[in-house]
Structure 1
Amino acid sequence: MKRIVIIGATSGIGNEVAKIYLEQGCRVGAAGRRQKELEELKALFPGQVEIQPLDVTESDAPEKLQLLIDKLGGMDLFLLSSGVGSQNLQLDPAIELKTASTNVDGFIRMVTAAFDYFKKQGGGHLAVISSIAGTKGLGSAPAYSATKRFQNTYIEALEQLSYMEKLNICFTDIRPGFVATALLKDDTYPMLMMPADVARYIVKALKKKQHVVTIDICYAVLVFFWRMIPRWLWRRLPIKTKHQQ
């Protein structure tokens, strides 16, 4: 039976992905900051779910991840689905630093812990949910777009490191567009996707062990042309975002 650990399983995309795997009969280790939501998920699938309260910004997060893995009896797939993002036109440093704390510090903390576990185990599948926001720097959300670019590059680097060390680790960088989660509360966003639909897309991509996944095809086309916009033109575009996953 496949053993899957999901960080950020209490809501949004992570919660929907967890439910799909549980419905498929997998065992899931669910982690997140909210104890109540973790217990509710466990109650829905008794005998299949192990839970662990965990905050990626705290220094003890790797130890709590190991506790969860031990409860689960091992880990075959690791999915990091925790992240924050805010529009910050005023460039409030507190907002920028909070975003970096979760999306950079927390990201490194959890991904390196998962990498080390799979290295010792002799293989595994390490996946993260980043964003298409890493494609270009967004003036309305500097830290968010910058941290997502960081995540894209970090996973690419770990994939190369794994190959250099001849490790049997598969990597997947999942890049959704606008998703109707708690982080994105404005329903006026174009091409807004539902978490359940995104979760189904993710599970299929993980089954195929794709390396980079842009969700969905409309956003894949958008990103293709987005990359082609020259810098002199990009800085003149008044692109605004509020919250993204």
Structure 2
Amino acid sequence: MFFLELIGASVVTYSLFYLISLCIVDCDLELAFYSKFGRSPRKLKGKVVFITGASSGIGEHTARALAKRGVKLVLTARRKHELERVKQDCIGLSKGQLNDNDILVIPCDITNLSVHKQIFERTIQHFGTLDILVNNAGRSQRALFEYIDIGVDKQMFDLNVFAVVNLSRLAVNYFNEKGSGHVAVVSSLAGVFGVPYSATYTASKHAIQGYFGSLQTEKVGTNIHVTLLCPGPVYTNFLQESFTEKDGEKYGIPAKSTDRRMTAERCGELCAIALANKTQESWMGLFPMMPFAYAAVYFPIISRIALKTLGPKKLFKFRDSKEITLEEVDIV
């Protein structure tokens, strides 16, 4: 009887420790452990990392976090002047570890699949190798499911899915020949569970989870690693640039400095730690995102009860730090 009581007490103690930890950390517990005791991003010094969508937001701050550790970079996005700004910032942050030739800027529209091979070959020509591809480029969405124009679905999948898959296949084929490599994709907590008022975005991130979860399984036992990076709300221009339900329209409402969002700097640092430790999947987000994500994945019944109690509008408030209004998302 004492033995059973000891087991019961241990389970309760472990569960309480786990729950309290999730309320304190700003990422999953594996990544939180690595941030304290794992491999430092300094271990990536001298490696070549290719980052899409590097002109702002998570892509920019991941580049900055890596540059501090002497990582050579390929930066792509549409806005050349912003890429050049990020490049100069990264050179400064490296404190002499990087020079002008160590950061290659390639302006491009990543949805133009015909240029992927060209920019990939330019990377190899410039550096002689590639070690890590970070697929970061993408856009979010705020809209009501039944009013979304099918053209919006197509555009979002072109950017968030097909561009990512096409570029990654080039990288994986190269890594197969090289014998090693690392593909990372910035997915989202929206790829882990369904979020309201972002149906197309959520679907695109679930597609990413499917594609690269499959690739992870195929590459088990090899020297090719695959990492899914899943941030929750982050303070960037991502919200303002989001799709709505209308083709060609942007959400246009910026995140506020008072919103409860992870800073892009912190997210970039966590992404760098995940890359250094070759995690399979890393979640990031301020409270209550971590407990909610764990409940959604590991305790779906509890999650469904909580969602029914809170309602989708409350979940939206957790995500965007405000109540949803029909006028804001233009879904009436």
Do Structure 1 and Structure 2 share a fold, with TM-score over 0.5? yes
Query: For 2:234, what is the secondary structure of its paired residue?
Result: coil
Residue of 101, 110, 134 corresponding to 1:56: 110
| Alignment deviations for residues 88-116 of structure 1 (CA, whole Å, 9 cap, x no partner) | 22312232222111112112112212111
Distance 1:190 1:72, change over 3 A: same
Distance 1:43 1:65, change over 3 A: same
CA distance in 2, matches of 1:138, 1:93: 19
> Is it true that 1:225 corresponds to 2:295 in the alignment?
yes
| Alignment deviations for residues 41-74 of structure 1 (CA, whole Å, 9 cap, x no partner) | 3334223211112222112232122212322221
**Contact map agreement 2:261 2:286 (CA 8 A) in 1:** no
> Is it true that 1:204 corresponds to 2:273 in the alignment?
yes
Query: For 2:228, what is the secondary structure of its paired residue?
Result: strand
CA distance in 2, matches of 1:113, 1:54: 16
Deviation at 1:189?
8.7
Segment drifting more, 37-46 vs 115-124: 37-46
CA distance in 2, matches of 1:70, 1:54: 17
Aligned pairs, how many?
A: 240
Name the residue aligned to 2:49: 4
Q: Which has the larger radius of gyration?
A: 2
Percent same amino acid at aligned positions?
24
Residue of 209, 221, 237 corresponding to 1:182: 237
Deviation at 1:147?
0.8
Name the residue aligned to 1:195: 264
Residue of 97, 106, 113 corresponding to 2:154: 97
Name the residue aligned to 2:95: none
Deviation at 1:192?
0.6
The TM-score normalised by the length of structure 1 is: 0.88
The TM-score normalised by the length of structure 2 is: 0.66
Structure 2 residue runs of 5 or longer lacking an equivalent are 1-45, 92-99, 240-253, 321-332
CA distance in 2, matches of 1:125, 1:232: 36
Compare the two structures and name the one with the higher helix fraction.
2
Residue of 151, 156, 176 corresponding to 2:208: 151
Structure 1 residue runs of 5 or longer lacking an equivalent are none
Name the residue aligned to 1:65: 120
Query: For 1:28, what is the secondary structure of its paired residue?
Result: strand
1:34-183 correspondence runs (5 A): 34-44=79-89, 45=91, 46-63=100-117, 64-89=119-144, 90-163=147-220, 167-183=222-238
Name the residue aligned to 1:29: 74
CA distance in 2, matches of 1:176, 1:61: 28
Letter in 2 for 1:224: Y
CA distance in 2, matches of 1:49, 1:98: 30
| Alignment deviations for residues 143-190 of structure 1 (CA, whole Å, 9 cap, x no partner) | 100111111121110011223xx5310111110000011112233896
**Contact map agreement 2:193 2:293 (CA 8 A) in 1:** no
